[in-house]
Structure 1
Amino acid sequence: MTIFSGHKHIGLNVSALHFFVTLPPSKFWVSEMHSDLHASLKEVFGFDQFRSGQEQTIRQLLKGSSSLAIFPTGSGKSLCYQLTAIHLPHLTLVVSPLLALMNDQLSFLKQQGIAAASIDSTLTAEQSRDVMSDVRSGKIKILMVSVERFKNERFRSFIQSVSVSMLVIDEAHCISEWGHNFRPDYLKLPAYREELKIPLVLLLTATATRKVKKDMAKKFAIHESDIVQTGFYRPNLDLSVIPVSAEHKDEMLNHVVSQQQGAGIVYVTLQHSAEQVAEFLRSKQVNAMAYHAGLPSDLRQQIQSDFMQGEIQVVVATIAFGMGIDKSDIRFVIHYDLPKSIENYSQEIGRAGRDGYQSRCITLANLDGLNTVENFVYGDTPELSGIDYVINSIRSECQNSQWELQVLGLSNDSNIRQLPLKTLLVQLELLGVLRPLYAYFAEFKIKLLKSEDDILALFSGERRNFVAAIFANTTFKKVWGNPNFEALFESYQCERSRVVVALEYLQEQGCIALETKRITEVFAVNTSVLSEPDLAMTLYNYFIEKEQKEIARIATLVRFFELPSCLSHHLALYFDDANSPENCGHCSVCKGQIAKLAYSSAVQWPEDMQISLIINSIEQHLTEKTSGLSLLERSIALSQENTSRFLAGISVPIFNRYKTRKLQGFGVCVHMRYEDVRSKVQALCSLS
């Protein structure tokens, strides 16, 4: 049992496991402390009372009911798992989509004296080893990971060796294909939960339409009565839409910022826009810094820290900034460019006014950036030839009804970006073509930190023989060695998982250094379903439908900004909250300012002759680069869709592979809508 005295944490003691032992799944256990939640709230977290929905969610969990909590951004979703976790006997495992979000929550938990940690790519091998050791011993109550961590066979081997009381999925709308940030790997979380026999699940999100809400609950068998949804409307946020042309946007931005007091965020779509806008604001004596994924990690962390401490007034950022920024006194959020969707808009404005004080959310709106937002969608739609390539690869590489995948290589060969490729693989799972078996690292390297004799002296009997067999089947080149799994399987007749667990154990004991590379996923293949003649077209139609749905989502965003009635009320309705006032009295529409968005100026097409020359240039370039490839591979490279993407400035894997972006004319039609570019290419190619 975990006990709190003030802020001092005393962890549950669990003896360290031998590397060949797996704990049986624990029975669900509820602490006797749950009857006095208010005392824990005050003593551990320093809060006098729960916010709306928090206590109901926590009590449901402590009664053993998996739950879905839908609270607006900044309404205290995280407390639902944090307080529950300290009343549970074993580990709470939290899946979070962003490192920044993990770091922010870990910092908060540390302040409260709660033992929590993450396993992520920033940790050294020694730090990861220490975290895993602390989890096994019961010192850690909350462990945070990304969903991709489950594909790591070392992590899965580790997590199967400890008892887990609760699985928490933050930003849980990523589970739903109807959600705005659908992530294919999230679809596998229900299966991981079953595999690990985790008795309790908590889903957390701020943005769920009715359809997304039902989809999330269904995937984890959460009863409707265990869905907790608080009101979406926040009366302290003033929503305003200001139509403005590109020519006058900077002037309007400066005017708006000069009227604001306190800290603010300005959101833009592109990285170079963040730099330009931040520089403009600094020229107007505003203390502003750019923040985007292209900056070095340490600089991003410094900017974030300075903003949190009040040393920077304004951050001009892409959507890389925001999640995990728990700064309560952000007084304004300005959208310099159109957001991607209503869901993105609501998340981004939700970072303002978390302290409950009046805050402004302003959109400087025109239609100029509409094509940029749409292009993100069009770039993620695979061509039929690319889907055919994936299916043919599975057929040709399948051995004994199993197929091994390395995502990067297949992405490059099929010309499908990695995220839509993962979506394609998930669809193949749903259609019964593939069934995930396990993932492993294609490369293991070990370095002995003690002599082989000293290491073997730590063991006796069969365990000593097993470790000796590992060393006997490892080929060392100077310092580092590569274990030969196939030879080991033949000589010792053991499961791969036991070897991996043994290597992990040896690393934890300081006997070896361990490095792993090239994750490989292994699937079982249903060859009869794989052979169905309409399979590729079925998948292609799925992506076309998805593309149209995303484009429609953008159109819905534009319609929202042009609404003739209360913005706050309609935003709440979108997220299935019918209890907000019909007229908030403080949005721009309620103040009589109905927006009508327009393009700043008519966009001029390049001359047809210029476009034709560019088309000929890219076709010649790709023809030369693919001369030795198969007919299917050449058709992938030389498609009209690739030509249209080149003109529109949309990057796909094949452009990087053949250095196509360096050709003159890349992005010459970047200001045009993609559908128009596609039509232009079709027309010009039909004339040639």
Structure 2
Amino acid sequence: MIEQTLADVFGYDGFRPGQEAAIRAVIDGRSAAAIFPTGSGKSLCYQLPALLLPNLTLVVSPLLALMQDQLAFLHRHGIAAASIDSAQSREDASAVMARAKSGELKILMISVERLKNERFRHFIAQVPISLLVVDEAHCISEWGHNFRPDYLKLPDYARQFGIPQVLLLTATATPPVIADMQAKFAIAAGDVITTGFYRANLNLLVEPVAGRDKLRRLVDWLGAKAGEPAIVYVTQQKTAEQVAAHLGASGVPASAYHAGMPHEQREAIQRQFMDGRINCIVATIAFGMGIDKSDIRNVVHFDLPKSIENYSQEIGRAGRDGRPSDCLVLANRDSLSVLENFVYGDTPELDGIREVLEEIRQAEGGQWELMLGALSEQSNIRPLPLKTLLVQLELRGIIAPRYAYFAEYRFKYLIEPDALLETFDGERRQFVEAIVHSSARARTWCTVDFEALYNQHRAERGRVVKALDWFQERGWIELESKQMTEVYERLRGEFAIDRLSDELHAYFRQQESSEIARIHAMLELFASDRCLSQRLAAYFGDEQAPQHCGHCSVCQGRVARLPEAPALASLQGKSFHALCGAFIQRYEALKGKPPSSEALTRFLCGIGAPLLSKLKAKGIDGFAALGEYPYAEVRAWAEAQA
């Protein structure tokens, strides 16, 4: 049956390495992990079983672009699949939910954050699920390069919704990450399938190029490969715009692509690249995840990638048709400080951690409610590390998540309220009347008053939300919800704030050191005098790659000696007041105290933080004035001056 489905639905006459073992494990009712290189066909490992399993396959995916590309593939093959995502209208999302409830859908794709959504949880609890698929599953591991705290909750979600088995998919898991993934989902060692990371058709080339010469070298390189599909990776959005413009002016048509563009524009550019109307994309890492274009002949890293894992993912988009493809790094150390500064910006200040702990201790009745955006601004901790902080507090037994809800629901009638009421009788009519009469109406929209409904009518919040969803499904109202509020139970009322703050700050500093080490490991790879293909495979635990591939720049006799970054003027000659005076003045006016050395350093290095956004720091003289200097050096200078 498996082979017949493979041929009839997907049109393949055989499996790629590892696919059959992963698929048979899932069909036989076991959880499994498929760890294959980018472009090796991981998606088939859930797509084929989804057709043979009795109930829905729920796929958790980290990027909208990844979902859309896989959905397009599934639709081409006549498979009933859909996604629920932030780009959809309320009506579209409701239609998808109805198809899932009816059993029409075989595959539903969501982001992990969707599982915290109160309305989605009500819905998914009513749908039988055969398989949970976690794409980019390395995000589960704190040892991974792209750790996402919400992924830590997936094992609990699987239990809550009674999902019997899990399939983990990733291309970039080192041995410690694989062990972590396996343990979190209790996957048997024999069902962890790895196929090796060496790809014989990829020519790994590292070329030392001074920063001032990179544009010229890029034009020469791509100009000699006219018409060949290419992706050029850069670090910053402004660089993507500048490089694309320069290529176009030099006779190499190219389009920029980055997360700062409107969604529709990004979609259009991606479609044009996929169907060959655009041959060259200059992109940040927002582009490429899950892009299933088989004939990409060139991947160029104009700027250094963030890590060896990122590099492996990004070059993995080349040559999926098996034909030779070139992966070029224009390497120097010029942008090293920029890469490192991204890391330093994610380390919370000690005062911010302490502020979060004070909030928890003061929570009334042992229940702590928060809105992530507001807490991020209040504590000056970026949303992602703030999520990590909350997960660490869970792991230490300080708090436990209970549920999340939208603080505000509002609706507008699509039929007259009287017509809606006439649909019900008895106790149900009384309940619906309570919703209608207690929801304050302004012109068009009615805001639901949950407190009044409970106090006056003992109407439970969950029942009200279910009713509103049902009304919308019937086309009687249009429903909107906003202000996601997360509710935690405080498990320990007494804890030593100073000691715990120091402990958590040390944890983040350790993570910071690990990420910085990851950057330097990547530099060591690029400057290696050993076969690059073999070094890359060994990093991921693959000992089967040849010792000399014969087609990387090292095997071809070109060991890269990376040029040092241009010397920078001494900070001792800089005027602290000229660079920081305006910022300090605005900071003190808002906070009533001078900025810490960390806040000053982030301002001078141009590193985003919630408080800097609130202060509109980008418009203050001195912002990012020292962005090319190492963070630690700027911090030491700021501490000495302040």
TM-score range, shorter chain: over 0.9
Q: 275-284 or 193-202, which moves further after superposition? A: 275-284
Inter-partner Cα distance in structure 2 for 1:625 and 1:466: 47
Q: Deviations over 1:606-646 (max 9, x none)?
A: 5634234323332233222323xxxxxx3xx6101111111
Q: Deviations over 1:3-46 (max 9, x none)?
A: xxxxxxxxxxxxxxxxxxxxxxxxxxxxxxxxx11100010111
The structural deviation recorded for 1:100 is 0.5
Q: Kindly indicate whether the alpha-carbon contact (under 8 Å) linking 1:433 and 1:529 is maintained by their aligned counterparts in 2.
A: no
Residue 667 of structure 1: which of 624, 627, 633 is its match? 624
Q: Kindly indicate whether the alpha-carbon contact (under 8 Å) linking 2:354 and 2:498 is maintained by their aligned counterparts in 1.
A: no
**SS of equivalent to 1:77:** coil
Q: 156-165 or 453-462, which moves further after superposition? A: 453-462
Q: State the partner residue of 1:4.
A: none
**SS of equivalent to 2:404:** strand
2:246 is the alignment partner of 1:280: yes
Query: What TM-score, normalized to structure 2?
Result: 0.97
Q: Deviations over 1:342-385 (max 9, x none)?
A: 00000000000000000000000000010010000001101111
**SS of equivalent to 1:576:** coil
Inter-partner Cα distance in structure 2 for 1:503 and 1:605: 63
Residue 677 of structure 1: which of 621, 634, 642 is its match? 634
The structural deviation recorded for 1:500 is 1.1
Residue 252 of structure 1: which of 217, 225, 238 is its match? 217
Inter-partner Cα distance in structure 2 for 1:506 and 1:531: 49
The structural deviation recorded for 1:529 is 5.2
2:327 is the alignment partner of 1:361: yes
Inter-partner Cα distance in structure 2 for 1:132 and 1:476: 28
The structural deviation recorded for 1:600 is 4.3
Q: State the partner residue of 2:61.
A: 96
Q: Kindly indicate whether the alpha-carbon contact (under 8 Å) linking 2:361 and 2:493 is maintained by their aligned counterparts in 1.
A: no
The structural deviation recorded for 1:309 is 1.2
**SS of equivalent to 2:472:** helix
Q: Kindly indicate whether the alpha-carbon contact (under 8 Å) linking 1:605 and 1:669 is maintained by their aligned counterparts in 2.
A: no
**SS of equivalent to 2:96:** helix
Q: Kindly indicate whether the alpha-carbon contact (under 8 Å) linking 1:433 and 1:527 is maintained by their aligned counterparts in 2.
A: yes
Inter-partner Cα distance in structure 2 for 1:228 and 1:62: 15
**SS of equivalent to 1:218:** helix
Q: State the partner residue of 2:470.
A: 505
Q: 333-342 or 610-619, which moves further after superposition? A: 610-619
**SS of equivalent to 1:351:** coil
2:180 is the alignment partner of 1:197: no
The structural deviation recorded for 1:128 is 1.2
Q: 238-247 or 522-531, which moves further after superposition? A: 522-531
Give the aligned residue type for 1:139.
E
**SS of equivalent to 1:276:** helix
Q: State the partner residue of 1:374.
A: 340
Residue 443 of structure 2: which of 463, 469, 478 is its match? 478
Residue 387 of structure 2: which of 422, 436, 450 is its match? 422
2:539 is the alignment partner of 1:582: no
The structural deviation recorded for 1:196 is 0.6
Give the aligned residue type for 1:475.
A
The structural deviation recorded for 1:460 is 4.0
2:396 is the alignment partner of 1:439: no
2:414 is the alignment partner of 1:453: no
Query: What TM-score, normalized to structure 1?
Result: 0.91
- Superposition pairs of residues 120-159 of structure 1, within 5 angstroms: 120-159=85-124
The structural deviation recorded for 1:427 is 0.6
**SS of equivalent to 1:362:** strand
Q: State the partner residue of 2:361.
A: 395
The structural deviation recorded for 1:310 is 1.0
Q: Percent identity?
A: 53
Q: State the partner residue of 1:87.
A: 52
2:195 is the alignment partner of 1:238: no
2:48 is the alignment partner of 1:108: no
Give the aligned residue type for 1:645.
R
Q: 190-199 or 655-664, which moves further after superposition? A: 655-664
Inter-partner Cα distance in structure 2 for 1:469 and 1:593: 77
The structural deviation recorded for 1:428 is 0.6
Unaligned runs of 5+ in 1: 1-35, 628-633
Inter-partner Cα distance in structure 2 for 1:40 and 1:609: 69
Unaligned runs of 5+ in 2: none
Q: State the partner residue of 2:272.
A: 306
Q: 136-145 or 615-624, which moves further after superposition? A: 615-624
**SS of equivalent to 1:352:** coil
- What is the aligned length? 641
Q: 449-458 or 542-551, which moves further after superposition? A: 449-458
**SS of equivalent to 2:62:** coil
The structural deviation recorded for 1:581 is 0.6
Inter-partner Cα distance in structure 2 for 1:517 and 1:136: 24
Residue 538 of structure 1: which of 458, 481, 503 is its match? 503
Cα RMSD for the two superposed structures: 1.4
Q: Kindly indicate whether the alpha-carbon contact (under 8 Å) linking 1:91 and 1:140 is maintained by their aligned counterparts in 2.
A: yes
Q: Kindly indicate whether the alpha-carbon contact (under 8 Å) linking 2:399 and 2:492 is maintained by their aligned counterparts in 1.
A: no
Inter-partner Cα distance in structure 2 for 1:313 and 1:152: 39
Inter-partner Cα distance in structure 2 for 1:145 and 1:178: 24
Give the aligned residue type for 2:422.
A
**SS of equivalent to 2:551:** coil
The structural deviation recorded for 1:475 is 2.2
